[in-house]
Amino acid sequence: MLLTIDVGNSSIAGAVFNGNTIVQRSVLATPKKWSAKYFSILLPVALAQRTTAVIISSVVPAMDRDLAANIKKVIGKRALFLDHKTATGITLKIDRPSELGADRIADSAGALTLFSPPLIVIDSGTATTFDLLNARGEYCGGCIFPGIGIAIESLAEKAAKLKKITFEVPRSPVGTNTTASIRAGVYFGYIGTLQYLIDCYRKILGPKSKVVATGGLSRHFKGRVSGIDMFVPDLLFLGLKSIFEQQSPGP
């Protein structure tokens, strides 16, 4: 079995594959410091003995060393940490490939398991990212902007009269109090941004470009943003599995 791990700024998620099937999913808030107790959440003891490999997408470098040591101790194997040098089959046609987050590489690889390029990949989490793959399957860039949670928190922190506001999908774009107005502005503003960028990138890549959305917050946009072909919660894990298989020799 293969354990795939996504180490993000807000959460760490894991998925265990048995063949092509995910048999275990887990998630925990990203801790300030890694501890062995967290690994049992990602990989229960019952599955640890049957797990033969681990591949990781991490955007929190401070976590990597202790996590790697934990994995080596539990399953006796070295984890593969994805980066811009990993063989993925995707040419990175950008200025500085070393700056590209492993999560964005994994998302792109996951989308390629579902559709032929050109592709537009949207990941809505702590940050919202767009990643573009041209008709040749080359990664050619994208954009990053703050996620919904960051936008709301930042606004509340900078305004003295505002209390901490949690995100909820507003019923209307017209807020009748301060909290409702912030939620409406951020949420419907994001809808407009997503729609504009999809249209913009389809003009660049071509009208037949497929759009794949993932990330914990992407579910809030179902039915609100036109042009999204598929919502895939496990996209990053599918990408990690695909990339791992490219590293391993055939049977």
User: What pLDDT, in 10s, does the model give residues 50-63?
Assistant: 999 999 999 999 99
249 in a domain, yes or no?
no
User: What tokens appear for 167 in the block?
Assistant: 């995100």
Domain limits for position 77: 2-81
pLDDT for 121: 98
How many percent of the chain have pLDDT more than 90?
A: 75
164 in a domain, yes or no?
yes
Catalytic pick among 6, 103, 123, 131: 103
Q: Which of 12, 5, 3 is nearest to 216 (CA)?
A: 12
Provide the β-strand partners of residue 4: 15, 55
SS3 category, 249: coil
Whether residue 251 is predicted with pLDDT greater than 80 in this model: the reply is no
pLDDT for 161: 64
pLDDT for 179: 85
The total of structural domains in the chain comes to: 2
* Same-domain pairing of 136 and 223: yes
pLDDT for 216: 80
CA distance 2 to 139: 26
94 in a domain, yes or no?
no
Q: What is the mean pLDDT of residues 92-117?
A: 97
pTM given for the model: 0.91
Q: What is the mean pLDDT of residues 45-51?
A: 90
Here the CATH number for the domain that contains residue 159 is 3.30.420.40
CB-count burial class (<10 Å; 0-12, 13-18, 19+) for 179: middle
Q: Which of 71, 88, 15 is nearest to 242 (CA)?
A: 88
206 in a domain, yes or no?
yes
- Active site annotation includes 131: no
* Same-domain pairing of 124 and 223: yes
Residues contacting residue 176 through CB under 8 Å, at least 6 positions apart: none
Whether residue 163 is predicted with pLDDT greater than 80 in this model: the reply is no
222 in a domain, yes or no?
yes
First CA to last CA distance, the chain: 15
Q: For 215-230, how does the pLDDT look when each residue is reduced to its tens digit (9 = 90+)?
A: 987 888 888 898 899 9
pLDDT for 221: 86
Whether residue 249 is predicted with pLDDT greater than 70 in this model: the reply is no
CA distance 210 to 118: 7
